[in-house]
A and B are shown apart, each in its own frame.
Chain A
Amino acid sequence: GAVVSQHPSRVICKSGTSVKIECRSLDFQATTMFWYRQFPKQSLMLMATSNEGSKATYEQGVEKDKFLINHASLTLSTLTVTSAHPEDSSFYICSASRARENGYTFGSGTRLTVV
Chain B
Amino acid sequence: KQEVTQIPAALSVPEGENLVLNCSFTDSAIYNLQWFRQDPGKGLTSLLLIQSSQREQTSGRLNASLDKSSGRSTLYIAASQPGDSATYLCAPRGGTSYGKLTFGQGTILTVHP
Give the B-binding residues of A (Cβ under 8 A).
6, 32, 34, 42-44, 46, 49, 91, 93, 95, 97, 100-109, 111
* Contact present for A103 and B34 (CB under 8 Å): yes
Point out the residues of chain A lying under 8 angstroms from B97, CB to CB: 100
CA–CA, A61 and B98, complex, Å: 21
* Count of interface residues, chain B, beta-carbon cutoff 8 Å: 24
* B100 contacts A34, C-beta separation under 8 Å: yes
- Kindly specify which of B12-20, B21-29, B38-46, B71-79 makes contact with the partner chain: B38-46
Q: Given that A103-B49, A108-B43 are contacting pairs, would A43 and B104 also be in contact in the complex, using a CB cutoff of 8 Å?
A: yes
Q: 27 A–B contact pairs at CB < 8 A?
A: A34-B101, A44-B44, A46-B101, A49-B98, A49-B100, A93-B44, A95-B101, A97-B98, A100-B31, A100-B97, A101-B32, A101-B51, A103-B32, A103-B34, A103-B46, A103-B49, A103-B93, A104-B91, A104-B93, A104-B101, A105-B46, A106-B36, A106-B43, A107-B43, A108-B43, A109-B41, A109-B43
Report B-chain residues with C-beta under 8 Å of the C-beta of A104. 34, 46, 91, 93, 101
Known: A32-B98, A43-B103, A104-B91. 9 other contacts (CB 8 A): A46-B100, A93-B44, A102-B49, A103-B32, A103-B93, A104-B46, A106-B45, A106-B46, A109-B42
CB of B105 closer than 8 Å to a CB of A: yes
